[in-house]
Amino acid sequence: MNGALQGRQRGAIRRGLSRLGVAAALLALPALLAPAGWPGASSARAEDAQATRRTPTLRNEVHAKLADVQQAAEVGDFATAERLLAALQAEFSGKRALNSYELANVHNFYAYIYYSQQKHPEAIRAYENVLAQPGLPGAMETGTRYSLAQLYVATGDWKRAAAMLESWFGIAEEPAPEAWMLLAQTNYQIGEYERALGNIDKGMAEARRRGMAPKENWYLLARMISYDKGDLRRTASVLEVLARQWPRKDYFVQLSAIHGELKDEPRQLAAMEVAYLAGWLDDERELVNMAYLYLGADMPWKAARVLEKGLEAGKVEAGAKNLELIGIALRQARENRHAIVYLERAAALAGDAEMWARLANLQLDEDASEQAVEAARKALAMGGGRRPDHTQVVLGMALYNLGRYDEARAAFTEAGRDPRSEQVATQWLHFLQTEIARAAQLAQEL
């Protein structure tokens, strides 16, 4: 039973994780930064940056034309915005050619326009052109690198995303927790699990430093990476936080499964039981798992009740295996008469010799000899189960209880043909002979 349960629960972990998809589904991309040439967006930053970098000046006439581009872009007239940018580049040529900072602003606007139209490859090339310009203001370079990293993520170019983010971290001041999580995503996707977990730890620490509460999806990412890395103990720790702070079915079911893989049966049961008592277990697989956990913890009555309630609610199918499991649980709980009801139904559905043989043995124990004879004969008609000789012994004993001595003798004789039951069959035959003789003597005296 334990092996079957572990197999089911390992499947539960994978099913739960697969519902989340790849890590990119966990962390939504923040909005890209506004183009640096927009009024109010970066002029002050450019002035600050010029104190430390030799950045060319943004001429007023260029700034005015970029403002027209901004106005068209803001109303979604991207065709006009592109036309204005092309005209700007054509106008400023030769001796009046755009300087590196002005060109950076032009490419920055192109990037925004393309991104707004979901033209990610074009937006990427535009941002790369921004970075190609010498003497960029610090704020503009920082924003561009982060936006470019986001676009690499959006297009699934994880290696370039990771490299760009690493370069961004080298110049960014006090990176936000979300940036650490984005880097964790990229490292996870390229198989750098240890680095990814380190990124998450730094992001969590930064959030605490800022007085922020860590977000649920950060823990979801940590859970996925920990599990794929094979770090079950960290996976359990993360799931415990998720279950405590955002209680829901999946977290408790997966936590139970992880504790099962760690061979921590008490915690495995406790997590699953919380989900069950909360009414979250609503399909057959989960309820059967719950029953197995109760059986493993030596609580057979609870196991039986889980399945019986499931049958009543229509959540557990009244198939042979489930009915047999209820019968087994009830038998372990010493509710034999109750168990017989389910085992009879299970045997009738399964048509299995071994099931009929076990049922016959239980009926014999409960002095239901007529029923034991019928079950044993059904078992023998199908081959007798794993121990046909033992089934013959059970049949003989039931027939003896009913006073059908000749039939009992035939059953014991057949059982004695197997060396495993020869001794007990011989004893019963001697006893039976004595009883037959005694009965004959009493008949004569009467």
Q: For 22-58, what is each residue's pLDDT tens digit?
A: 333 334 444 444 444 343 333 333 344 444 567 788 9
Whole-number Å distance between alpha carbons of 407 and 390: 16
pLDDT at 435: 83
pLDDT at 230: 95
pTM summary value:
0.79
Asked whether the beta carbons of 353 and 368 are under 8 A apart, the reply is no
Percentage of residues in the chain with pLDDT exceeding 90?
82
pLDDT at 442: 76
Mean pLDDT of 189-207: 96
The count of domains in the chain is 1
Residue 441 falls within a domain, yes or no?
yes
Mean pLDDT of 372-382: 95
Residue 392 falls within a domain, yes or no?
yes
Residue 65 falls within a domain, yes or no?
no
Q: For 75-93, what is each residue's pLDDT tens digit?
A: 999 999 999 999 999 999 8
Residue 381 falls within a domain, yes or no?
yes
Whole-number Å distance between alpha carbons of 41 and 38: 5
Burial class (CB in 10 A: 0-12, 13-18, 19+), 387: middle
Q: Assign residue 385 a region (left: φ > 0; alpha: ψ between -120 and 50; beta: otherwise).
A: left
Q: For 227-280, what is each residue's pLDDT tens digit?
A: 999 999 999 999 999 999 999 999 999 999 999 999 999 999 999 999 999 999
Domain of residue 372: give its range: 368-446
Asked whether the beta carbons of 123 and 115 are under 8 A apart, the reply is yes
Q: Where are the alpha helices (DSSP H) in 132-215?
A: 138-154, 158-169, 177-189, 193-209
Q: Where are the alpha helices (DSSP H) in 210-335?
A: 216-229, 232-245, 249-261, 265-277, 284-296, 300-312, 320-332
Confidence of residue 13 (pLDDT cuts 50, 70, 90): low
Residue 407, domain CATH: 1.25.40
Residue 359 falls within a domain, yes or no?
no
Residue 432 falls within a domain, yes or no?
yes
Residue type at 163 in one-letter notation: A
Residue 186 falls within a domain, yes or no?
no
Residue 413 falls within a domain, yes or no?
yes
> Is pLDDT larger for residue 42 or for residue 419?
419
Confidence of residue 440 (pLDDT cuts 50, 70, 90): confident
pLDDT at 47: 41
